[in-house]
Structure 1
Amino acid sequence: MRPPRLKTARLLLREFRPEDVAPHAEAALDEEAQRFLGGVKTPYESFAGLATHAGHWALRGYGGWIVERREDGAFLGRVGLFHPEGWPGVEVGWKLARPAWGKGYAPEAAAAAIGWAWTALDLPELISLIVADNANSQRVAQKLGEANTGPVETPFGTADRWLIRRPEGDAPWALRDATLDDAPRLALQLREAMERFRDFSPPGWPVPDHTTDDEVEALKDPNYRCVVAEPGGVLAGHVSWRPAVDALSGPDDPDTAYLGQLYVEPAWWGSPLATKLMDIAIARAGADGFQRMHLVTPAAQGRARRFYERCGWRTVAPPVDDARFGMPTIAYARDLDRVGG
Protein backbone atom coordinates (compact mmCIF):
# COMPACT_ATOMS: atom_id res chain seq x y z
CA MET A 1 0.00 0.00 0.00
CA ARG A 2 1.39 3.39 -1.02
CA PRO A 3 1.11 6.01 1.74
CA PRO A 4 -1.00 9.03 0.79
CA ARG A 5 0.88 12.31 0.66
CA LEU A 6 0.26 15.14 3.12
CA LYS A 7 1.48 18.70 2.56
CA THR A 8 1.86 21.27 5.32
CA ALA A 9 3.09 24.85 4.94
CA ARG A 10 6.73 23.74 4.89
CA LEU A 11 6.76 19.96 4.72
CA LEU A 12 5.80 17.03 2.52
CA LEU A 13 4.94 13.78 4.24
CA ARG A 14 5.54 11.19 1.54
CA GLU A 15 6.10 7.53 0.74
CA PHE A 16 9.33 5.65 1.52
CA ARG A 17 11.89 5.40 -1.32
CA PRO A 18 15.15 3.54 -1.89
CA GLU A 19 17.08 6.82 -1.72
CA ASP A 20 15.92 7.26 1.90
CA VAL A 21 18.06 4.34 3.10
CA ALA A 22 21.34 6.30 3.17
CA PRO A 23 20.19 9.47 5.02
CA HIS A 24 18.17 7.35 7.44
CA ALA A 25 21.26 5.25 8.19
CA GLU A 26 23.38 8.38 8.63
CA ALA A 27 20.91 9.83 11.14
CA ALA A 28 20.90 6.51 13.04
CA LEU A 29 24.65 6.92 13.69
CA ASP A 30 24.13 10.19 15.58
CA GLU A 31 24.57 9.42 19.28
CA GLU A 32 22.57 12.44 20.46
CA ALA A 33 19.68 11.79 18.06
CA GLN A 34 19.60 8.13 19.13
CA ARG A 35 20.02 8.74 22.86
CA PHE A 36 16.43 7.79 23.71
CA LEU A 37 15.95 5.36 20.82
CA GLY A 38 18.17 2.51 21.91
CA GLY A 39 21.50 4.00 20.86
CA VAL A 40 23.19 4.18 17.48
CA LYS A 41 22.18 1.64 14.86
CA THR A 42 24.16 -0.31 12.31
CA PRO A 43 23.19 0.12 8.65
CA TYR A 44 21.42 -3.25 8.89
CA GLU A 45 19.42 -2.19 11.96
CA SER A 46 18.57 1.15 10.36
CA PHE A 47 17.35 -0.58 7.21
CA ALA A 48 15.25 -3.01 9.24
CA GLY A 49 13.64 -0.14 11.12
CA LEU A 50 12.89 1.76 7.93
CA ALA A 51 11.44 -1.38 6.34
CA THR A 52 9.24 -1.94 9.39
CA HIS A 53 7.65 1.49 9.02
CA ALA A 54 7.31 1.14 5.26
CA GLY A 55 5.66 -2.27 5.59
CA HIS A 56 3.35 -1.14 8.37
CA TRP A 57 1.03 0.30 5.70
CA ALA A 58 0.48 -3.13 4.16
CA LEU A 59 -0.39 -4.73 7.49
CA ARG A 60 -2.42 -1.97 9.18
CA GLY A 61 -3.63 0.30 6.37
CA TYR A 62 -1.80 3.24 7.95
CA GLY A 63 1.73 3.98 9.08
CA GLY A 64 4.54 6.49 8.82
CA TRP A 65 5.91 8.92 6.28
CA ILE A 66 9.25 10.32 5.29
CA VAL A 67 9.36 14.02 6.15
CA GLU A 68 10.76 16.14 3.33
CA ARG A 69 11.25 19.88 3.31
CA ARG A 70 9.20 21.27 0.43
CA GLU A 71 11.55 24.18 -0.18
CA ASP A 72 14.50 22.04 -1.28
CA GLY A 73 13.44 18.39 -1.02
CA ALA A 74 15.77 17.74 1.92
CA PHE A 75 15.31 14.53 3.93
CA LEU A 76 14.43 15.49 7.51
CA GLY A 77 13.40 12.16 9.07
CA ARG A 78 10.16 10.30 9.55
CA VAL A 79 6.86 10.73 11.36
CA GLY A 80 3.61 8.86 11.58
CA LEU A 81 1.46 6.15 13.10
CA PHE A 82 2.75 2.92 14.59
CA HIS A 83 0.87 -0.02 16.12
CA PRO A 84 2.75 -3.33 16.17
CA GLU A 85 1.52 -6.31 18.11
CA GLY A 86 1.94 -5.80 21.85
CA TRP A 87 1.92 -1.99 21.61
CA PRO A 88 -0.30 -0.14 24.12
CA GLY A 89 -2.23 1.77 21.45
CA VAL A 90 -1.85 3.50 18.11
CA GLU A 91 1.17 5.73 18.50
CA VAL A 92 2.03 8.96 16.73
CA GLY A 93 5.79 9.24 16.73
CA TRP A 94 8.53 11.34 15.22
CA LYS A 95 12.23 10.92 14.55
CA LEU A 96 14.03 13.79 12.84
CA ALA A 97 17.71 14.08 12.00
CA ARG A 98 19.52 16.51 14.29
CA PRO A 99 19.98 19.26 11.64
CA ALA A 100 16.16 19.49 11.55
CA TRP A 101 15.81 20.07 15.31
CA GLY A 102 14.67 23.37 16.76
CA LYS A 103 12.72 24.56 13.73
CA GLY A 104 9.24 23.36 14.64
CA TYR A 105 9.27 20.60 12.03
CA ALA A 106 8.39 17.79 14.47
CA PRO A 107 5.11 19.29 15.76
CA GLU A 108 4.20 20.46 12.25
CA ALA A 109 4.67 16.99 10.77
CA ALA A 110 3.08 15.19 13.73
CA ALA A 111 0.04 17.51 13.64
CA ALA A 112 -0.50 16.55 10.00
CA ALA A 113 -0.37 12.85 10.89
CA ILE A 114 -2.79 13.40 13.78
CA GLY A 115 -5.21 15.36 11.61
CA TRP A 116 -5.21 12.56 9.06
CA ALA A 117 -5.74 9.96 11.80
CA TRP A 118 -8.76 11.84 13.17
CA THR A 119 -10.41 12.42 9.79
CA ALA A 120 -9.37 9.65 7.41
CA LEU A 121 -9.26 6.85 10.02
CA ASP A 122 -11.69 8.26 12.61
CA LEU A 123 -9.42 7.04 15.42
CA PRO A 124 -10.70 7.97 18.89
CA GLU A 125 -7.28 8.54 20.46
CA LEU A 126 -3.54 8.40 19.89
CA ILE A 127 -0.57 7.91 22.20
CA SER A 128 3.10 8.80 22.14
CA LEU A 129 5.58 6.69 24.12
CA ILE A 130 8.33 8.95 25.45
CA VAL A 131 11.20 8.08 27.75
CA ALA A 132 10.95 10.12 30.97
CA ASP A 133 14.21 12.04 30.38
CA ASN A 134 13.43 12.98 26.77
CA ALA A 135 12.59 16.65 27.32
CA ASN A 136 12.61 17.53 23.61
CA SER A 137 9.93 14.99 22.72
CA GLN A 138 7.94 15.96 25.79
CA ARG A 139 7.81 19.55 24.52
CA VAL A 140 6.63 18.34 21.11
CA ALA A 141 3.90 16.26 22.76
CA GLN A 142 2.76 19.26 24.80
CA LYS A 143 2.57 21.43 21.68
CA LEU A 144 0.37 18.77 20.09
CA GLY A 145 -1.99 18.84 23.07
CA GLU A 146 -0.98 15.49 24.55
CA ALA A 147 -1.06 14.78 28.27
CA ASN A 148 1.24 12.46 30.20
CA THR A 149 -0.80 9.61 31.71
CA GLY A 150 2.15 7.91 33.41
CA PRO A 151 4.56 5.04 32.76
CA VAL A 152 3.70 1.87 30.85
CA GLU A 153 5.67 -1.20 29.91
CA THR A 154 6.48 -1.70 26.23
CA PRO A 155 8.42 -4.43 24.39
CA PHE A 156 11.42 -2.09 24.64
CA GLY A 157 11.12 -1.11 28.28
CA THR A 158 9.34 1.54 30.34
CA ALA A 159 8.12 4.80 28.81
CA ASP A 160 5.62 7.50 29.66
CA ARG A 161 2.32 7.19 27.81
CA TRP A 162 1.24 10.55 26.42
CA LEU A 163 -2.38 10.66 25.25
CA ILE A 164 -4.49 12.83 22.95
CA ARG A 165 -8.17 12.24 22.21
CA ARG A 166 -10.04 13.11 19.04
CA PRO A 167 -11.95 16.39 19.40
CA GLU A 168 -15.71 16.11 19.18
CA GLY A 169 -17.85 16.59 16.09
CA ASP A 170 -16.42 18.26 13.01
CA ALA A 171 -13.67 20.10 14.89
CA PRO A 172 -10.88 17.82 13.53
CA TRP A 173 -11.80 18.78 9.95
CA ALA A 174 -10.94 22.45 10.62
CA LEU A 175 -13.60 23.68 8.18
CA ARG A 176 -13.53 27.43 7.53
CA ASP A 177 -14.08 30.10 4.89
CA ALA A 178 -11.13 30.62 2.58
CA THR A 179 -9.15 33.86 2.75
CA LEU A 180 -6.84 35.61 0.30
CA ASP A 181 -3.90 33.99 2.10
CA ASP A 182 -5.19 30.62 0.91
CA ALA A 183 -4.99 31.56 -2.78
CA PRO A 184 -1.56 30.00 -3.54
CA ARG A 185 -2.50 26.66 -1.97
CA LEU A 186 -5.96 26.62 -3.56
CA ALA A 187 -4.48 27.31 -6.99
CA LEU A 188 -1.89 24.56 -6.51
CA GLN A 189 -4.56 22.10 -5.35
CA LEU A 190 -6.64 22.84 -8.42
CA ARG A 191 -3.68 22.43 -10.78
CA GLU A 192 -2.74 19.10 -9.21
CA ALA A 193 -6.36 17.94 -9.44
CA MET A 194 -6.36 18.85 -13.13
CA GLU A 195 -3.18 16.82 -13.61
CA ARG A 196 -5.07 13.75 -12.38
CA PHE A 197 -7.61 14.33 -15.16
CA ARG A 198 -4.95 13.03 -17.58
CA ASP A 199 -6.06 9.52 -16.59
CA PHE A 200 -9.25 9.93 -18.61
CA SER A 201 -8.50 12.90 -20.88
CA PRO A 202 -8.12 12.75 -24.69
CA PRO A 203 -4.57 12.28 -26.06
CA GLY A 204 -2.64 15.53 -26.01
CA TRP A 205 -5.09 17.21 -23.63
CA PRO A 206 -3.49 20.38 -22.20
CA VAL A 207 -3.92 20.81 -18.46
CA PRO A 208 -5.84 24.06 -17.87
CA ASP A 209 -3.71 26.59 -16.04
CA HIS A 210 -5.01 28.15 -12.86
CA THR A 211 -2.77 30.75 -11.28
CA THR A 212 -2.66 32.27 -7.85
CA ASP A 213 -3.82 35.53 -9.44
CA ASP A 214 -6.88 33.70 -10.80
CA GLU A 215 -7.70 32.47 -7.32
CA VAL A 216 -7.13 35.88 -5.75
CA GLU A 217 -9.51 37.43 -8.28
CA ALA A 218 -12.16 34.84 -7.44
CA LEU A 219 -11.78 35.27 -3.67
CA LYS A 220 -12.17 39.03 -4.03
CA ASP A 221 -15.55 38.58 -5.75
CA PRO A 222 -18.23 39.34 -3.11
CA ASN A 223 -20.53 36.71 -4.65
CA TYR A 224 -17.92 33.94 -4.61
CA ARG A 225 -17.89 31.47 -1.73
CA CYS A 226 -15.13 29.02 -0.83
CA VAL A 227 -14.76 26.71 2.17
CA VAL A 228 -11.60 24.76 2.97
CA ALA A 229 -10.86 21.76 5.19
CA GLU A 230 -7.49 21.94 6.91
CA PRO A 231 -7.07 19.04 9.37
CA GLY A 232 -3.68 19.18 11.04
CA GLY A 233 -2.60 22.12 8.90
CA VAL A 234 -3.04 20.18 5.64
CA LEU A 235 -5.31 21.51 2.89
CA ALA A 236 -7.40 18.36 2.54
CA GLY A 237 -9.97 19.81 0.18
CA HIS A 238 -12.15 22.75 -0.75
CA VAL A 239 -15.49 23.62 -2.28
CA SER A 240 -16.54 26.80 -4.08
CA TRP A 241 -19.76 28.13 -5.53
CA ARG A 242 -21.23 31.35 -6.91
CA PRO A 243 -24.40 32.57 -8.68
CA ALA A 244 -24.87 30.60 -11.90
CA VAL A 245 -25.31 33.84 -13.85
CA ASP A 246 -21.70 34.74 -12.92
CA ALA A 247 -20.24 31.35 -13.90
CA LEU A 248 -18.71 30.51 -17.27
CA SER A 249 -20.59 27.20 -17.49
CA GLY A 250 -23.70 27.95 -15.47
CA PRO A 251 -27.28 28.43 -16.68
CA ASP A 252 -28.58 31.98 -17.01
CA ASP A 253 -30.90 31.61 -14.04
CA PRO A 254 -30.79 33.96 -11.02
CA ASP A 255 -32.32 31.27 -8.80
CA THR A 256 -29.49 28.80 -9.47
CA ALA A 257 -26.08 28.56 -7.79
CA TYR A 258 -23.14 27.00 -9.60
CA LEU A 259 -20.87 24.50 -7.81
CA GLY A 260 -17.57 25.38 -9.43
CA GLN A 261 -15.00 23.34 -7.51
CA LEU A 262 -15.19 20.34 -5.21
CA TYR A 263 -11.76 18.83 -4.73
CA VAL A 264 -10.50 16.40 -2.12
CA GLU A 265 -6.89 15.28 -1.79
CA PRO A 266 -6.31 11.54 -2.49
CA ALA A 267 -5.34 11.06 1.19
CA TRP A 268 -9.02 11.65 2.01
CA TRP A 269 -10.64 9.69 -0.81
CA GLY A 270 -13.19 7.35 0.77
CA SER A 271 -13.61 9.63 3.80
CA PRO A 272 -16.71 11.77 4.49
CA LEU A 273 -14.92 14.95 3.41
CA ALA A 274 -16.41 15.33 -0.08
CA THR A 275 -19.92 14.91 1.34
CA LYS A 276 -19.22 17.38 4.15
CA LEU A 277 -17.96 20.03 1.73
CA MET A 278 -20.84 19.51 -0.69
CA ASP A 279 -23.40 19.68 2.11
CA ILE A 280 -21.92 22.98 3.29
CA ALA A 281 -22.20 24.46 -0.20
CA ILE A 282 -25.79 23.23 -0.61
CA ALA A 283 -26.91 24.48 2.81
CA ARG A 284 -25.30 27.89 2.46
CA ALA A 285 -26.50 28.41 -1.11
CA GLY A 286 -30.00 27.53 0.05
CA ALA A 287 -29.69 29.95 2.96
CA ASP A 288 -28.73 32.65 0.45
CA GLY A 289 -32.02 32.11 -1.34
CA PHE A 290 -30.99 29.93 -4.28
CA GLN A 291 -33.49 27.24 -5.26
CA ARG A 292 -31.23 24.99 -7.32
CA MET A 293 -27.57 24.13 -7.77
CA HIS A 294 -25.83 23.23 -11.03
CA LEU A 295 -22.44 21.72 -11.83
CA VAL A 296 -20.45 20.47 -14.80
CA THR A 297 -17.94 17.61 -14.62
CA PRO A 298 -15.97 15.61 -17.22
CA ALA A 299 -18.20 12.90 -18.69
CA ALA A 300 -15.41 10.33 -18.30
CA GLN A 301 -14.80 11.07 -14.61
CA GLY A 302 -16.57 8.04 -13.23
CA ARG A 303 -15.58 8.53 -9.58
CA ALA A 304 -17.09 12.04 -9.43
CA ARG A 305 -20.21 11.12 -11.39
CA ARG A 306 -20.97 8.16 -9.13
CA PHE A 307 -20.50 10.37 -6.09
CA TYR A 308 -22.90 13.06 -7.34
CA GLU A 309 -25.52 10.51 -8.35
CA ARG A 310 -25.35 8.82 -4.93
CA CYS A 311 -25.92 12.25 -3.38
CA GLY A 312 -29.09 12.92 -5.34
CA TRP A 313 -27.83 14.94 -8.29
CA ARG A 314 -29.49 14.31 -11.67
CA THR A 315 -28.18 14.81 -15.18
CA VAL A 316 -29.88 17.62 -17.06
CA ALA A 317 -28.55 16.91 -20.56
CA PRO A 318 -26.43 14.33 -22.42
CA PRO A 319 -22.65 14.85 -22.53
CA VAL A 320 -21.47 17.62 -24.83
CA ASP A 321 -18.11 18.50 -26.35
CA ASP A 322 -16.80 21.28 -24.13
CA ALA A 323 -14.41 23.45 -26.13
CA ARG A 324 -13.42 25.47 -23.06
CA PHE A 325 -12.48 22.35 -21.13
CA GLY A 326 -11.13 20.35 -24.04
CA MET A 327 -13.14 17.18 -23.41
CA PRO A 328 -16.80 16.08 -23.17
CA THR A 329 -18.56 17.25 -20.02
CA ILE A 330 -21.94 16.52 -18.48
CA ALA A 331 -24.18 18.80 -16.41
CA TYR A 332 -25.90 17.88 -13.15
CA ALA A 333 -28.44 19.74 -11.01
CA ARG A 334 -30.35 19.34 -7.77
CA ASP A 335 -33.06 21.25 -5.93
CA LEU A 336 -31.79 22.88 -2.77
CA ASP A 337 -35.09 22.35 -0.96
CA ARG A 338 -34.30 18.61 -0.98
CA VAL A 339 -31.40 18.98 1.46
CA GLY A 340 -31.68 16.19 4.00
CA GLY A 341 -34.49 14.57 2.04
Structure 2
Amino acid sequence: MSRIDLRLETPRLLLRPPQREDFEPWAAFSADELATRHIGGAQVRPIAWRNFLTMVGAWQIQGFGFFSVIEKATGQWVGRLGPWMPDGWPGTEVGWSLVRAAWGKGYATEGATAAMDWAVATLGWSEVIHTIDPANEASKAVARRLGSRLLRMGHLPAPADFDVEIWGQSREEWLARRAAPVPA
Protein backbone atom coordinates (compact mmCIF):
# COMPACT_ATOMS: atom_id res chain seq x y z
CA MET A 1 0.00 0.00 0.00
CA SER A 2 1.38 3.42 -0.88
CA ARG A 3 1.28 6.09 1.76
CA ILE A 4 -1.27 7.99 -0.34
CA ASP A 5 -3.66 5.06 0.26
CA LEU A 6 -2.86 4.99 3.98
CA ARG A 7 -5.72 4.78 6.45
CA LEU A 8 -5.37 4.94 10.23
CA GLU A 9 -8.43 4.16 12.31
CA THR A 10 -9.26 5.01 15.88
CA PRO A 11 -12.49 4.10 17.64
CA ARG A 12 -14.23 7.23 16.31
CA LEU A 13 -12.01 8.59 13.55
CA LEU A 14 -10.57 7.74 10.17
CA LEU A 15 -7.27 9.45 9.34
CA ARG A 16 -6.19 9.53 5.70
CA PRO A 17 -4.20 11.79 3.37
CA PRO A 18 -6.28 14.68 2.00
CA GLN A 19 -8.41 14.01 -1.07
CA ARG A 20 -10.00 16.42 -3.54
CA GLU A 21 -13.41 16.19 -1.86
CA ASP A 22 -11.87 17.44 1.40
CA PHE A 23 -11.23 20.91 -0.01
CA GLU A 24 -14.68 22.41 0.63
CA PRO A 25 -14.69 21.65 4.38
CA TRP A 26 -10.95 22.54 4.50
CA ALA A 27 -11.73 25.96 2.96
CA ALA A 28 -14.65 26.53 5.36
CA PHE A 29 -12.40 25.67 8.32
CA SER A 30 -9.64 27.92 6.97
CA ALA A 31 -12.07 30.86 6.77
CA ASP A 32 -13.22 30.46 10.40
CA GLU A 33 -11.53 33.24 12.37
CA LEU A 34 -12.12 31.60 15.74
CA ALA A 35 -10.95 28.13 14.71
CA THR A 36 -7.76 29.49 13.09
CA ARG A 37 -6.83 32.24 15.55
CA HIS A 38 -3.90 30.24 17.00
CA ILE A 39 -2.56 28.92 13.68
CA GLY A 40 -2.06 32.12 11.72
CA GLY A 41 -5.63 33.33 11.26
CA ALA A 42 -8.38 32.98 8.71
CA GLN A 43 -7.54 32.52 5.05
CA VAL A 44 -9.39 33.50 1.93
CA ARG A 45 -10.33 30.64 -0.39
CA PRO A 46 -7.40 31.01 -2.87
CA ILE A 47 -4.87 30.86 0.00
CA ALA A 48 -6.72 27.90 1.55
CA TRP A 49 -6.45 26.15 -1.84
CA ARG A 50 -2.69 26.75 -1.98
CA ASN A 51 -2.27 25.43 1.56
CA PHE A 52 -4.43 22.41 0.77
CA LEU A 53 -2.20 21.66 -2.23
CA THR A 54 0.88 22.14 -0.03
CA MET A 55 -0.39 19.34 2.20
CA VAL A 56 -1.13 17.08 -0.78
CA GLY A 57 2.37 17.84 -2.06
CA ALA A 58 3.91 17.02 1.33
CA TRP A 59 2.37 13.56 1.07
CA GLN A 60 3.72 13.16 -2.47
CA ILE A 61 7.25 14.39 -1.76
CA GLN A 62 7.88 13.57 1.92
CA GLY A 63 5.55 10.61 2.30
CA PHE A 64 3.72 12.26 5.21
CA GLY A 65 1.69 15.31 6.09
CA PHE A 66 -1.48 16.22 7.91
CA PHE A 67 -4.20 13.62 7.66
CA SER A 68 -7.76 14.58 6.92
CA VAL A 69 -9.78 13.66 10.00
CA ILE A 70 -13.08 11.98 9.17
CA GLU A 71 -15.66 11.37 11.87
CA LYS A 72 -16.72 7.73 11.41
CA ALA A 73 -20.25 8.21 12.73
CA THR A 74 -21.11 10.90 10.18
CA GLY A 75 -18.49 10.60 7.43
CA GLN A 76 -17.80 14.33 7.89
CA TRP A 77 -14.39 16.01 7.55
CA VAL A 78 -13.72 17.47 11.01
CA GLY A 79 -10.14 18.67 10.74
CA ARG A 80 -6.56 17.95 9.96
CA LEU A 81 -3.82 16.54 12.11
CA GLY A 82 -0.65 14.54 11.96
CA PRO A 83 3.01 14.69 11.07
CA TRP A 84 4.36 17.92 9.67
CA MET A 85 7.88 19.15 8.99
CA PRO A 86 8.29 21.78 6.27
CA ASP A 87 11.68 23.28 5.53
CA GLY A 88 12.95 25.37 8.44
CA TRP A 89 10.47 23.91 10.94
CA PRO A 90 11.72 23.62 14.54
CA GLY A 91 11.36 19.82 14.60
CA THR A 92 9.30 16.77 13.74
CA GLU A 93 5.79 17.82 14.65
CA VAL A 94 2.46 16.15 15.13
CA GLY A 95 -0.07 18.95 15.12
CA TRP A 96 -3.86 19.24 15.13
CA SER A 97 -6.57 21.68 14.03
CA LEU A 98 -10.25 20.82 14.21
CA VAL A 99 -13.51 22.46 13.19
CA ARG A 100 -15.38 24.05 16.08
CA ALA A 101 -18.12 21.41 16.00
CA ALA A 102 -15.46 18.81 16.88
CA TRP A 103 -14.00 20.70 19.86
CA GLY A 104 -14.35 19.15 23.30
CA LYS A 105 -14.93 15.60 22.05
CA GLY A 106 -11.40 14.29 22.58
CA TYR A 107 -10.78 13.97 18.84
CA ALA A 108 -7.48 15.88 18.91
CA THR A 109 -6.04 13.55 21.55
CA GLU A 110 -7.46 10.43 19.89
CA GLY A 111 -6.20 11.35 16.43
CA ALA A 112 -2.84 12.70 17.60
CA THR A 113 -2.21 9.46 19.52
CA ALA A 114 -2.67 7.43 16.33
CA ALA A 115 -0.53 9.89 14.36
CA MET A 116 2.25 9.81 16.97
CA ASP A 117 2.22 6.01 17.00
CA TRP A 118 2.53 6.05 13.19
CA ALA A 119 5.25 8.74 13.12
CA VAL A 120 7.39 6.90 15.66
CA ALA A 121 6.87 3.43 14.17
CA THR A 122 6.84 4.22 10.46
CA LEU A 123 8.81 7.44 10.09
CA GLY A 124 11.26 6.54 12.86
CA TRP A 125 11.07 9.93 14.52
CA SER A 126 13.23 10.26 17.64
CA GLU A 127 11.26 13.24 18.96
CA VAL A 128 7.71 14.46 18.42
CA ILE A 129 6.95 18.12 19.02
CA HIS A 130 3.84 20.27 18.97
CA THR A 131 4.22 23.97 18.10
CA ILE A 132 1.62 25.82 20.16
CA ASP A 133 0.64 29.48 20.30
CA PRO A 134 1.35 30.57 23.91
CA ALA A 135 -2.31 31.69 24.24
CA ASN A 136 -3.74 28.33 23.10
CA GLU A 137 -4.66 26.68 26.39
CA ALA A 138 -6.79 23.99 24.70
CA SER A 139 -3.85 22.70 22.65
CA LYS A 140 -1.60 22.75 25.70
CA ALA A 141 -4.18 20.55 27.44
CA VAL A 142 -4.11 18.12 24.49
CA ALA A 143 -0.30 18.08 24.62
CA ARG A 144 -0.42 17.27 28.34
CA ARG A 145 -2.90 14.43 27.72
CA LEU A 146 -0.43 13.04 25.17
CA GLY A 147 2.30 13.10 27.82
CA SER A 148 4.16 16.01 26.26
CA ARG A 149 5.70 18.88 28.17
CA LEU A 150 6.99 22.34 27.37
CA LEU A 151 10.48 21.84 25.96
CA ARG A 152 11.47 25.31 24.81
CA MET A 153 10.34 28.45 23.03
CA GLY A 154 10.67 28.65 19.26
CA HIS A 155 9.79 30.64 16.18
CA LEU A 156 7.98 29.39 13.10
CA PRO A 157 9.52 30.34 9.75
CA ALA A 158 7.73 32.51 7.19
CA PRO A 159 5.01 32.68 6.13
CA ALA A 160 3.84 31.80 9.69
CA ASP A 161 6.54 33.98 11.31
CA PHE A 162 5.43 33.94 14.93
CA ASP A 163 6.72 32.74 18.31
CA VAL A 164 5.48 29.44 19.69
CA GLU A 165 5.89 27.17 22.65
CA ILE A 166 7.44 23.87 21.61
CA TRP A 167 5.92 20.99 23.51
CA GLY A 168 6.93 17.38 22.99
CA GLN A 169 8.67 14.23 24.08
CA SER A 170 11.24 11.73 22.93
CA ARG A 171 10.46 8.53 21.09
CA GLU A 172 11.51 6.60 24.22
CA GLU A 173 9.13 8.60 26.43
CA TRP A 174 6.26 8.02 23.98
CA LEU A 175 6.91 4.28 23.72
CA ALA A 176 7.20 3.92 27.51
CA ARG A 177 3.92 5.79 27.98
CA ARG A 178 2.16 3.64 25.38
CA ALA A 179 3.48 0.45 27.01
CA ALA A 180 2.46 1.47 30.55
CA PRO A 181 -0.64 -0.20 31.96
CA VAL A 182 -3.77 1.95 31.98
CA PRO A 183 -4.70 2.90 35.56
CA ALA A 184 -7.95 1.39 36.83
Aligned to 1:132: 134
Structure showing greater relative contact order (alpha-carbon pairs closer than 8 Å, 6 or more residues apart):
2
Change (3 A) 1:22 1:170: closer
**AA partner of residue 20 (structure 1):** D
2:105 is the counterpart of 1:100: no
Partner of 1:163: 168
- Residues paired across the two proteins, number: 176
1:119 partner letter: A
Cα offset for 1:14? 1.3
Is contact 2:147–2:177 with CA below 8 Å preserved after alignment?
no
Task: Name the counterpart of 2:74.
Answer: 72
For residues 178-222 of structure 1, the C-alpha deviation after alignment (integer angstroms, 9 at most, x for no partner) is xxxxxxxxxxxxxxxxxxxxxxxxxxxxxxxxxxxxxxxxxxxxx
CA distance, structure 1, for counterparts of residue 26 and residue 69 of structure 2: 11
SS at match of 1:28: helix
1:167 partner SS: helix
Following superposition of structure 1 onto structure 2, how do residues 288-299 of structure 1 map, counting pairs within 5 Å?
none
Q: Which amino acid aligns with 2:164?
A: A
C-alpha separation in 1, matches of 2:19 and 2:65? 15
Percent identical pairs in the alignment equals 39
Query: In the TM superposition, what are the counterparts of 1:280-295 in structure 2 within 5 Å?
Result: none
1:1-55 per-residue CA deviation (whole Å, 9 max, x = no partner) reads: 5151100011000121111111111111211101112221001111111111121
Task: Tell me the CA shift for residue 74 of structure 1.
Answer: 1.1
2:28 to 26, 29, 43: 26
Paired residues of 1:14 and 1:67 also in contact (CA < 8 A): yes
The TM-score, its normalising length taken from structure 1, stands at 0.49
Q: Any unmatched runs of 5+ in structure 2?
A: none
Query: Which letter maps to 1:10?
Result: R
1:3 and 1:62 in contact (8 A); partners too: no
Classify the secondary structure of the residue corresponding to 1:94: strand
**Ranges of 4+ aligned residues in structure 1 off by more than 4 Å:** 168-176
1:98 partner letter: R
Deviation at 1:62, TM superposition (A): 1.8
Q: Check the 8 A contact 1:119/1:173 in 2, yes or no.
A: no
| AA aligned opposite 1:143 | R
Q: Which amino acid aligns with 1:79?
A: L
Give, in angstroms, the shift of residue 167 of structure 1.
2.5
Within 5 A, what are the aligned runs for 1:1-341? 2-155=4-157, 156-167=161-172, 171=176
- CA contact 1:115–1:172 (8 Å) conserved in 2: no
Give the alignment's TM-score, normalised by structure 2.
0.88
> Matched residue of 2:15: which SS?
strand
1:171 positional shift? 4.8
- Output the aligned Cα RMSD: 2.1
Distance in 2 separating the partners of 1:98 and 1:170: 31
CA distance in 1, matches of 2:154, 2:24: 33
2 CA distance for matches of 1:169 and 1:17? 30
After superposition, the Cα gap between the structure-2 partners of 1:30 and 1:123, relative to the gap in structure 1 and judged at 3 Å, is same
> Residues of 1 paired with 2:130 and 2:141: CA distance?
12
Structure 1 pair 139/175, CA: closer, same or farther in 2 (3 Å)? closer
Alpha carbons of 1:112 and 1:39: their partners in 2 closer, same or farther (altered >3 Å)? same
Tell whether the 8 Å contact from 2:147 to 2:174 is kept in structure 1 after alignment. no
- The letter for the 2-side match of 1:147 is R
Amino acid at match of 2:168: L
